[in-house]
Amino acid sequence: MSVILFICTGNVCRSPMAAGLMRQRLAQEGLGHHQVASAGVWALDGRPASDHAVTVMAERGIDISEHIAHTVTADDMAEADLVLVMSRDQAQVLRNTWPQYDWKVHRLSEMAGKRQDVSDPYGGSLADYRACADTIERYLNEGWSNILKLL
């Protein structure tokens, strides 16, 4: 079993949505034996997913209403086989903090052959969250084969 860890800043918007979308895709592909987790580089531990993130995922048939924010730890990094971050800055924080795991840290967009950050919708409108989820889903779909290779 492989562990995929999604990282964003506060672990209440992008990474919980990405984890939900990944779980859904893995289940559809019959690959549900992979574990998916999420965390934030500066999360406020214990916070729920943002209301808009919960709504947008529910629109896609994904329930993240039980999500609880979690700050990434050394154990998380050690256990993960693949760490997908939303921004270059997040990758740098992880690489500076845990240089021994540099090889497993990638921006999500890199899986799709791009070099772009996934914009943070925090505090934005429902439309902003939908656009963010669309971007995450596009990168997951376009980068699917690369993700599987790295697992």
Q: Which residues are catalytic?
A: 8, 14, 120
What is the distance between the alpha carbons of residues 65 and 97, in angstroms, rounded to a whole number? 30
Q: Which two tokens stand for residue 118?
A: 């996934």
- Going from the C-alpha of 82 to that of each of 52, 53, 116, 127, 136, the distances in angstroms are 27, 23, 18, 29, 16
Q: What is the DSSP letter of 68?
A: B
Cα–Cα distance measured from residue 29 to residue 20, given in angstroms and rounded to the nearest whole number: 14
